[in-house]
Amino acid sequence: MGQGCRGGVDSGTGARDDPVSDRFARRPVMSSCDSDFLDRLPKVELHVHIEGTLEPETIFALAARNGVALPWPDVATLRAAYEFRDLQSFLDLYYAGASVLLTADDFRDMAAAYLARAAADGVVRAEIFFDPQTHTARGVAMATVIEGLTRALDAARAGGMSCDLILCFLRHLSEEEAIATLRAALPFRDAFIGVGLDSSEVGHPPETFARVFAEARRHGLHLVAHAGEEGPPAYVWSALDVLAVERIDHGVRAIEDPALVARLARDRVPLTVCPFSNVRLRVCDTLADHPLKTMLEAGLAVTINSDDPAYFGGYVGANWRETCRALDLTREEAIAIARNGIEAAFVDEATRAELRARLDAAIAAG
């Protein structure tokens, strides 16, 4: 087990029962990498679920707009329920929250709110997951989901943000359902750049989805998959070797397998790490225990991302600030992580050159 992550020695301080904000607050003040510098860094966000950006206030506002009954009496009760034991306890709430999304305007408003917050955090490139099966299962048309999200992305692009969508298959459902989802989305092929695999990881290994990933690949789509979040290193191996993914989402448990670390380092496979998520879902005890620095030192192409920011205590800027502080990362390490994001992005080479130039300018400005 890696660095106090899952199975690490419990300090006996009761940290697992503390609110996550307390656990973050006790970290030492950052030495060589100040938060103003981090705030000014142009950032690439490669792992954010758009349904995970629904703030509790928005869930209630959309429920009222659409006449959807919620199982919580008010915002405060919902927010108080954000104490997760593991991935599944979070997913149960996350799917319940997403039930308020019905119209294209709902999807547009949700994505527009995320894109505005991301821009305020210095995000210059966002690759955004969406889970169509969560919506089509409730009778919402694929066209409604994609058209609403696309309207928000088009507006953000007009404002100078580079952004795209990645369609995720829910791994707790069957591969046949994933194939049907891909085919239902193909009439909107130009609206998304890739496919991913998310939801309940343990018991749903990547190789189960070999056929649908092969089909997506034949359509020229980029391939990513969640692996090594709660699941074992074997899931990372099969995401690479069976699904042929280009990036691993999370991947923190890869650190338990030296041969896998060597493989990921050799091939510079990007890992979209989500520090707040790992603490809130009890993958790691605290941010200070997070293996991100160890992974970086092992030569892994780690990036910093928010996953489900409305549920995990902060957007990508807060993930950067608190993680760099808790792990006492140097300015050079922060820059290396920012560069990893740029190299890992699914963009054309002209855009990548532009992103590199923006990062270089921010570094030069100090």
Closest by CA to 310, choosing from 100, 17, 71, is 100
Contacts of 26 (CB under 8 A, 6+ apart): none
Whether 229 is catalytic: yes
Residue 276, binding choice from ligand ADE, Zn ion, none, Cβ under 5 to 8 Å by partner class: none
What the block records as the tokens of 251 is 């991947």
* Binding test (CB under 6 A) with ligand ADE, winner from 87, 118, 182, 334: 87
The yes or no reply on residue 127 touching ligand ADE (CB under 6 A) is: no
CB of 192 to ligand ADE, least distance (A): 17
Residues 287-326, one symbol each (x = binds ligand ADE by CB under 6 A, - = not), give: --------------------xx------------------
The yes or no reply on residue 230 touching Zn ion (CB under 5 A) is: no
The yes or no reply on residue 3 touching ligand ADE (CB under 6 A) is: no
* Binding test (CB under 5 A) with Zn ion, winner from 164, 307, 322, 333: 307
In DSSP terms, 225 is beta-bridged to: 248
CA atoms of 222 and 127, how far apart (whole Å):
11
Q: How far is CA 164 from the centre of its chain?
A: 14
The yes or no reply on residue 45 touching ligand ADE (CB under 6 A) is: no
Closest by CA to 311, choosing from 23, 43, 29, 54, is 54
What the block records as the tokens of 365 is 């400005």
The yes or no reply on residue 277 touching ligand ADE (CB under 6 A) is: yes
Name the active-site residue from 51, 229, 322, 333.
229
CB of 47 to Zn ion, least distance (A): 6
Which amino acid belongs to residue 252? Answer: V
C-alpha dihedral sign at 274, 280, 281, 285: positive
What the block records as the tokens of 236 is 């990372």
Which amino acid belongs to residue 298? Answer: A
CB of 228 to ligand ADE, least distance (A): 11
Which residues belong to the active site?
229
Residues that bind ligand ADE (CB under 6 A): 49, 52, 87, 94, 198-199, 226, 229, 277, 307-308
